[in-house]
């Protein structure tokens, strides 16, 4: 058996983290973990249970309550909260608007990071983990670290394509920029590129080209060890 490979993929919203991570994991036979889905899931629980998402003390107090379980099959990403499928509700604009505030609370992060490290440690062949602080904080010893970027215009166009006109491209771009600022500016493990991460600007690349680059980097690291 070869040593498990750990791939950390970080970056702001709409840069292609989820699509790239799933495709790389599927191609290399690795597990896959979407940590953003976990932060969205705990945010959904807070909103559903009447917790004031602008009150960090209230969030901290409740952070230990919901059971968040994320699947690790790249072919069928799954997320449940207290056993209930949360894959639809975590993508609503209400959750998107509240997730940065909830995920800035240290007690929330401590819990999520524990679950994320356990998933990485138990993946038989290795795992691709995507998020904001994977290379810096969650898995600082990852085999390969990637930091994806793209221009705000490209990211907003990609996101509004998914929202199917529910929000204008200009509003989507403004919301992305607000979330970037909140995620990069928080005190506990902000969105940041690790010093040893490879930065890939995906603005002008197809998904296939990004996947190829990441797969090639993993191959190089494997060959070197």
Ligand X SMILES: Nc1ncnc2c1ncn2[C@@H]1O[C@H](COP(=O)(O)OP(=O)(O)O)[C@@H](O)[C@H]1O
Ligand Y SMILES: Nc1ccn([C@H]2C[C@H](O)[C@@H](COP(=O)(O)OP(=O)(O)O)O2)c(=O)n1
Binding site for ligand Y (CB under 6 A): 13, 35-37, 39-40, 99-100, 103, 131-133, 179, 183
Handedness of CA 133, 137, 143, 145 (dihedral sign): positive
Strand 126-131 relative to strand 144-149: parallel, antiparallel, unpaired?
unpaired
**131 backbone dihedrals φ, ψ, rounded to 5°:** 180, -140
**Distance separating alpha carbons of residues 72 and 7, to the nearest angstrom:** 14
17 labeled binding residue: yes
Measured from the CB atom, is 15 or 136 closer to ligand X? 15
Q: Which residue has the tokens 């379980």?
A: 69
Considering the complex, what minimum distance in angstroms separates the CB of residue 3 from ligand X? 27
15 labeled binding residue: yes
87 labeled binding residue: no
Q: Which does 205 bind (CB under 5 to 8 A by kind): ligand X, ligand Y, none?
A: ligand X
Which residues of the shown chain bind ligand X in the complex (CB under 6 A)? 11, 13-19, 158, 161-162, 202, 205-207, 210
Among candidate residues 114, 113, 115, the one with its CA nearest the CA of residue 69: 115
Q: Which does 72 bind (CB under 5 to 8 A by kind): ligand X, ligand Y, none?
A: none
Considering the complex, what minimum distance in angstroms separates the CB of residue 203 from ligand X? 8
Considering the complex, what minimum distance in angstroms separates the CB of residue 115 from ligand Y? 11
Q: Which does 35 bind (CB under 5 to 8 A by kind): ligand X, ligand Y, none?
A: ligand Y
**Distance separating alpha carbons of residues 192 and 16, to the nearest angstrom:** 16
Q: Which residue has the tokens 């490209």?
A: 154
16 labeled binding residue: yes
How far lies 107's CA from each of 22, 63, 113, in Å? 28, 6, 10
Q: Tell me which residue has its CB nearest to ligand Y.
A: 36
- The SS3 call for residue 53 is coil
Q: Which does 210 bind (CB under 5 to 8 A by kind): ligand X, ligand Y, none?
A: ligand X
Measured from the CB atom, is 192 or 222 closer to ligand Y? 192
**Distance separating alpha carbons of residues 221 and 225, to the nearest angstrom:** 7
Measured from the CB atom, is 19 or 188 closer to ligand X? 19
Q: Which does 131 bind (CB under 5 to 8 A by kind): ligand Y, ligand X, none?
A: ligand Y
206 labeled binding residue: no
Among candidate residues 2, 9, 3, 6, the one with its CA nearest the CA of residue 30: 6
Return the structure tokens found at 29: 């036979």
19 labeled binding residue: yes
Output the known binding site.
Answer: 11-19
């Amino acid at each position: 058996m070869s040593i498990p490979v750990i791939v950390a993929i970080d970056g702001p919203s709409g840069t292609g983290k989820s699509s790239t991570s799933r495709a790389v994991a599927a191609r290399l036979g690795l597990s896959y973990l979407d940590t953003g889905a976990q932060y969205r899931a705990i945010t959904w629980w807070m909103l559903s249970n009447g917790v004031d998402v602008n009150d960090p003390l209230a969030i901290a107090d409740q952070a230990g309550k919901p059971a968040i379980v994320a699947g690790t099959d790249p072919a069928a990403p799954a997320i449940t909260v207290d056993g209930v499928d949360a894959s639809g509700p975590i993508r609503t604009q209400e959750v998107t608007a509240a997730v940065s505030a909830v995920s800035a609370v240290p007690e929330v992060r401590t819990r999520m990071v524990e679950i994320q490290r356990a998933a990485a440690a138990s993946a038989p062949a290795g795992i691709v983990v995507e998020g904001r602080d994977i290379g810096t904080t969650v898995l600082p010893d990852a085999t390969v670290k990637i930091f994806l970027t793209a221009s705000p215009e490209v990211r907003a166009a990609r996101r509004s394509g998914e929202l199917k006109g529910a929000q204008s491209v200009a509003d989507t771009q403004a919301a992305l920029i607000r979330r970037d600022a909140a995620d990069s500016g928080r005190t506990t493990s902000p969105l940041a590129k690790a010093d040893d991460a490879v930065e890939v600007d995906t603005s002008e690349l197809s998904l296939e080209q990004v996947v190829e680059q990441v797969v090639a980097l993993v191959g190089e690291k494997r060959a070197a060890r």
